[in-house]
């Protein structure tokens, strides 16, 4: 569904990454890398953001991934952090992002971003 005037439409963009250890610096750095890749690959302007939901696996407890968004200069967008359900065999030390934004890109042209060991979550997507 798009707007009548061809303007921006509310869309959702996904991404995930992994970190090598449960360390505050690693969580912020990994999340920052993921967010920057999501912004770059999709020409996201921070003004177009509506909200961002972060989830982490239960083995990550040293920092909130939202701290990386604040460091990137996103002070006024609602951010939420939560823990993933503990599914047996799930990717470990994984940070996931669900970003809501306005964009003129059709849903089929959004480039979801999966980095590190999280690439195995969506092997059907192009780099």
pLDDT bucket at 86, cuts 50 / 70 / 90: very high
**CATH number of the domain where residue 16 is located:** 3.30.1330.40
Query: Can you tell me the mean pLDDT for 106-126?
Result: 84
**The whole model's pTM is what?**
0.91
- Residue 31 in any domain: the answer is yes
Grade residue 1 by pLDDT with cuts at 50, 70 and 90: very low
Is the separation of the CB atoms in 102 and 11 below 8 Å?
A: yes
Q: What pLDDT score does 48 carry?
A: 95
Using 50, 70 and 90 to split pLDDT, how confident is the model at 2? Answer: very low
Cβ atoms of 57 and 92 within 8 Å: the answer is: yes
Domain that holds residue 31: 9-117
111 closest CA partner among 89, 120, 122:
122
pLDDT value for 5? 67
In the chain, how many domains are there?
1
Residue 126 lies in a domain: no
């Amino acid at each position: 569904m798009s707007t009548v005037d061809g303007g921006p439409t509310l869309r959702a963009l996904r991404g995930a990454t992994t970190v090598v250890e449960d360390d505050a610096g690693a969580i912020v750095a990994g999340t920052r890398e993921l967010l920057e890749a999501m912004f770059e690959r999709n020409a996201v302007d921070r003004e177009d953001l509506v909200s961002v939901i972060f989830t982490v696996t239960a083995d990550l407890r040293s920092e909130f991934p939202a701290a990386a968004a604040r460091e990137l200069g996103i002070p006024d967008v609602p951010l939420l952090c939560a823990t993933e359900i503990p599914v047996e065999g799930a990717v470990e030390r994984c940070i996931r992002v669900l970003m809501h934004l306005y964009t003129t890109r059709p849903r089929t042209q959004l480039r979801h971003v999966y980095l590190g060991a999280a690439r195995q979550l969506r092997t059907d997507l192009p780099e």
